[in-house]
Amino acid sequence: MWFRSNPKRHVKSSEPVRGVDRISFFDYRPSTKRFLTINMDAKRENSGKTDIKLTITLTPQEVQPFLLTAATHISEHMDIKGFRRGKAPYEAVAGNVGEMAVLQEALEPIVRLHLAKVLMDEQIDTVGQPKVDVEKMVPGNDLVFVATVTCMPEVKKLGNYEKLSIDAKSTDVPEKDVERALKDLAGMRTKEVRATLGEAATDRDMLVIDLQMKRDGVPVEGGQSPNFRVYMNEEHYVPGMKEPLVGMKEGESKTFTVAFPRDHYQKSIAGKDVECTATVKELYHLDIPAIDDAFAKTLGLETMGELRVKIAENLKTEHDEDEARRQDRELLELLAGASSFGEIPEFLVRDEVEKMMHELEHAVERQGGVFTEYLTSIKKSPKEVRDGMRDQALMRVKVALVLRAVSKAENIAVASEEVQTEIEKQAALYGKEEEARERVLSPEYREYIGYKMRNEKVVVFLRGKMVKQVP
């Protein structure tokens, strides 16, 4: 609502949505999973700046074990005369469905496992999903497939984190912050008492108004609100908005002009005179509790002194956490900016943009907003938002690559025991929620946790190198 200079009660604004400006601890994993010791021929050739094309040829002998497994799997889901399900031999299965059907069933594990071995043997670090084309697949003959894989982007030169630095900032809690927190707590416990008909509004009341805003006789987009609540004791309204409401009674209307500041977030009315018509629909007196020992007791403490100490402690914790996040973001971006990179595949940036888009959407929803309405309020299409995220997405990809490079340079790793402890801790949180527990206990999640914990270790290492503490 344009009524507010800073719409802190609403997500409909162009201000950043809290929670989407942080560097996440993430990494790109190679596509290798499990490896088998199998002899095969593989031909390697470059295919573009970041792609490698691998031609892999397997003999019938190398394919045979997979055919037997595939035949067993097929027999588990069909009736074959003379055999129980899952017990029919290869010949019986192939006789019923055909050798080609068995080979097709075996193809996915053949490709997955043999490609993994080649990637390991050739020491190819990949990112994303490989593109696989089968060139030759005839029962009893060599199996030939071509896999095009994208190489992990290279950090050509890692910035010198021994010489780069950022300054730490004080996290001390000013007394004014404690006072503001006390005021907010009192506001949360304020009672709204309906005024008697005929009473006039004061600067300590709350009004429900029908607000209509026009400029040059034309309604302002988003400037109409039939039930807008105005808290007269709050300070975040556009100057000149609240004052005309003092003295108004329920049922009264008033038209007045407000000069919107040049830096107002709604650009169409920034620096402009806007005609406002306000009709008072309801008037409430605000019964604000006194901030004293009795108030402290309602919060489980004995005195105001104890309450002030507790508030200061909580604010200090928040400030420390915010400062740590700021340090992490700035030192990682500084290091990434001082590093040089090889070709970064566009799909990595595109995928990160989508991740950021989801983060933004969830942040809006957590604050009680609707994402489509948020986009309307900032006058941007999803494509425009995505385009605006691209530079930051590229930086986040570079940060991930730098984290990985530092872990290799400094031999920073996470022991399997550490990962197991963290997995068990998280699994215990879900109790009897079997689906969630299975997700936490999956190999994919274990891999994710391993990378996340490693990256957190890297960040701790970089803090020690790059953060200059406050004297």
| Domain match, 351 and 313 both | yes
Domain hosting 406: range is 302-468
Question: Which run of H or of E encompasses 227?
Answer: strand 218-231
Give the pLDDT confidence of 360-391 residue by residue, as tens digits: 999 888 888 888 888 887 888 999 999 999 99
Is 176 domain-assigned? no
First to last CA, the chain: 44
- Considering the domain architecture, whether residues 284 and 315 belong to the same structural domain is answered as no
**Who's near 174: CB < 8 A, 6+ residues apart?**
none
Same domain, 337 and 442: yes
Contact of 76 with 85, CB cutoff 8 Å: yes
Number of separate domains in the chain: 3
In terms of domains, do 312 and 455 share one? yes
CA–CA distance from 362 to each of 23, 346, 357 (Å)?
Answer: 16, 25, 9
Same domain for 358 and 313, yes or no, is: yes
Closest among 146, 140, 136 to 42, alpha carbons compared:
146
Q: Within this chain, do residues 424 and 312 fall inside the same structural domain, yes or no?
A: yes
Task: Record the pTM.
Answer: 0.70
Provide the H-helix boundaries in 76-214.
Answer: 90-97, 99-121, 175-188
Beta bridge partners of 51: 150
Residue 21 domain-assigned?
no
Amino acid at 223: G
For residue 6, tell me if it sits in a domain.
no
- pLDDT above 90 covers a percentage of the chain that reads 49
Question: Can you tell me the mean pLDDT for 256-272?
Answer: 85
Listed in sequence order, the residues at least 6 apart from 176 whose beta carbon sits closer than 8 Å to its beta carbon are: none
| Cα–Cα distance measured from residue 312 to residue 35, given in angstroms and rounded to the nearest whole number | 55
**Which residue spans within 337-418 are E strands per DSSP?**
340-341
Q: Quick one: CA dihedral 315, 319, 321, 322, positive or negative?
A: positive
**CA atoms of 351 and 452, how far apart (whole Å):** 18
> What's the CA gap between 221 and 268, in Å, rounded?
9
Q: Which amino acid is at 405?
A: A
CATH of the domain at 354: 1.10.3120.10
The stretch 228-240 carries a mean pLDDT of 87
| Averaged pLDDT score across all residues of the chain | 85
Pick the more confident residue, 39 or 115. Answer: 115
Does residue 283 share a domain with residue 310?
no
Among residues 94, 128, 151, the one where a domain terminates is 151
Q: Reply yes or no on whether the pLDDT at 41 is more than 70.
A: no
Cα–Cα nearest to 454, from 419, 426, 425: 419
Is the model's pLDDT at 55 over the cut of 50? yes
Q: Quick: pLDDT tens for 115-141.
A: 888 888 887 888 878 889 999 999 999
Residue positions counted in the chain: 471
Q: Report how far residue 449's alpha carbon sits from residue 1's, in angstroms, rounded to the nearest whole number.
A: 42
Q: Which two tokens mark 305?
A: 């002194």
Mean pLDDT of 151-171: 92
pLDDT at 16 over 50: no
> pLDDT tens digit string along 311-365?
999 999 999 999 999 999 999 999 999 999 998 988 889 999 999 999 999 988 8
Q: Are residues 283 and 314 in the same domain?
A: no
CB–CB of 426/440 below 8 Å?
Answer: yes
CATH number, domain with residue 284? 3.10.50.40
Question: In sequence order, what are the residues at sequence separation of 6 or more whose Cβ sits closer than 8 angstroms to the Cβ of residue 380?
Answer: 388
- Tokens 């200061």 found at: 312
- Give the integer Cα–Cα distance in Å for 351 and 127: 12
Task: Give residue 33's pLDDT.
Answer: 32
Q: How far apart are CA 334 and CA 328, in angstroms?
A: 10
Pair 267, 318 in one domain: no
Please, what is the angle between helix 304-337 and helix 175-188, to 10°? 110
Measured between alpha carbons, how far is 230 from 242 in angstroms, rounded to an integer? Answer: 8
